[in-house]
Structure 1
Amino acid sequence: MSEVPFVMPLLRDGVNPVEELGALRSEQPIVQLEIPGIGVKVWLVTRYDDVKAFLGDHARFSNDFSKVTEAGELQMLLQQDPGGLGMIDPPDHSRLRKILTPEFTMRRLRRLVPKIDAIVAAQLDEVEKAGQGADLVEHYAMPIPALVICDLLGVPYEERDEFQKHSQDRFNFTGDFSDSLGEIGESLKYMGGVVAKIRQNPNDGLIGQIIAEHGDAITDVELAGLADGILTGGHETTASMISLAAHVLMKNPDHVALMRDGDDKQVSDIVDELLRYLTVVQVPFPRLAKEDLVLGGQQIKAGELVIGSLVAANRDESLGANMDEFVPERGSMSHLAFSYGIHRCIGAELGRMELRQALPALFKRFPTLQHQGPIDETEFRMFSIVFGIESLPVAW
């Protein structure tokens, strides 16, 4: 095949990955791309088994770039530590994840259901108040996860606009890595201020609870990184899923009816199929090979960078028939929408919970909800690590 552009894993045709990505998975499942402007090459992995293999292999692949001396030219990109769990290895990763894990068990998360329901109901009122042509992104999809995370972390609701800005800006790829890294720095600076305020005046949110339980054993820098990871991992992704899921469901009245009237099991299965089909997080955190190794028959040298296309992996025909189609009755399966291994999204169950509450409620309030204007004019967010919709005007 001809040279593959670096942005290919971020390109879509509607909600589907571009055909060229599927062709890569079939013909050249591990291919080298070049990062524009700096000449550094990375391996793109597209087959399900290969993506799952390297995501689950923290013994041979590192997320902590600062400890991989073979990174060479990549060091210029790694001066900004993004904080959180995404780019650290055990034992630091294990210690910090252990602090967070109790807050994301189903038992703990169930206490959020009444709050989520109240937030959903309030935003449905906002959609109705906005009237015909209301933008579902602005009035529904974006505010719900922002308000849920504000409540979870113990951050005042009035700061949700600041939340949304930091969450969205860092995922857009314009070709200039310094812009993305600068946004990471701004986000961490903001969250550091939030942590400092809560340490002085603790509340019963997640940040306050961690401070109360662990005190000085966790630093403000570490805690800001964890909180920032929850914000960026749980806001933009869930907002994109709500709007994209509504877009997909509204194309077929039978699918709307299933979501609106289905029992808990049916709704859960539809949500899981939407997660697989849409795979809004297009690529996970990159990995660096710690040693010379072979992945999927491809020789990879120590210090080389590897990324995976989660959407290509989740459409792999090895998983079953018609994987390029949305099939509500498919049921739950072992997809990679939340990544895999020790870096699997810690807030996966919270995201699922928000979708299971927000989507049926939307179509119960507006059973005739439909796109306002031609569906094929829907404006998608391109060149973004988190795929989404810019706006979604609706009528009912």
Structure 2
Amino acid sequence: MSEQPASYRDVFAVREYRHLFAANLLSLIGDQLTAVALSFLVYARSGSPLLAALTFAGSYATWVIGGPLLSVFADRLPRRRVLLVGDLARAAIVLLMLIPGIGVWTLVAMAFVANLFRPPFQSARASLMPDILHGDRYTVANGLDNIVAEITQVAGFALGGLLVAAGSAQTVLAADAATFLLSAALIATGLRGSAAATRATAQPSGSWWAETTAGARVVFADRTLRSYLLLFWLSCLVYAAEGVAAPLAAEYGAGAWTGGLLLAAMPAGVAVGGVLLTRVCAPRLRQRIMLPLALLSCAVLLPIAARPPLAVVLTLFFVSGLAGSFSIPLNALFGRAVPAAYRARAFGVAMSGLCAVQGLAMFAAGAAAEWLRPTLVVGGAGLAATVAVGVVAASWPRVTEPVPVPVAA
């Protein structure tokens, strides 16, 4: 393994990645615009905060449902085709939302269906990455994608709000459909018609249920993959802090602006950490510091239980995100270790579990904050995450073991 990290120039020298990167960026922007525009549109027509929140939260719920179920298509069909269908279907559904007089509940249902195309799209894209990027390029590209995703999440919400304020939700939806169409054009012109992964996935392994659960069986039957996934999931217990951002700001006598800073601190740390890990650290160093960083990302929140000054809380949140960038090299290890024929389903399992862990952690934090002060809740989440990550680290595999291919019943 080379001790020199790949450069961004090395990564963008790969034509297929350039197209995948631009297409993914447009799709991410489209996802954010859809979430903002529809939440405004549904609230304007119904006056119901619950319906608006339900519309907004649909993108997360579809990962829990669609991750394991729909990622099968990304393993059974040519992945280029899955990407194209995902973009074109979302563009068509968003355009249908522009029909005048469409009912609120129909809008909510259409938003849910549109979001169902996101898991197979992202799983297919993640599965293609190890095939088109070799060596350290794959890890650096993962870091770049992570940085872009964090920035897009913040900028997309802000841009969507500005566009709605400047025009209308319908205008934003039209722009959203255009992003998906442009993404599809980039995929159609930039990716080969057939990829190696397509040949590896030509033979179905059994019933639909067997196909759906194959990803989970591959991951959890192998000690190495299981350890990778558990480390990723359990370290994300710290995102319980996002569930109490508003009451945490109120505990310090602050308002929405401070709550926004608290929510932005961790993603900002992840973005900075991603640059440092992929552009400064050598490949071997990344692997050596991965476990210490995972523990630090959780343990750094423990002092918040003592209610330090707000500036310290913001700093600790940022440091937690900075250390949390360990997930970038971890993701690369996971992607390379999964057999190509099951890669999309394995990524689907990883993402659906992540959404479930984050959602449950936020819900638990909110419930605990009904009786405990938010700083104590955040510190408690840091403690729980530190203990959980410590257990995984204690049994961390030293040697990569072969991944068994499950046999359908």
Give the shorter-chain TM-score range: 0.3 to 0.5
TM-score, scaled to structure 2: 0.32
TM-score, scaled to structure 1: 0.33
Higher strand share: 1
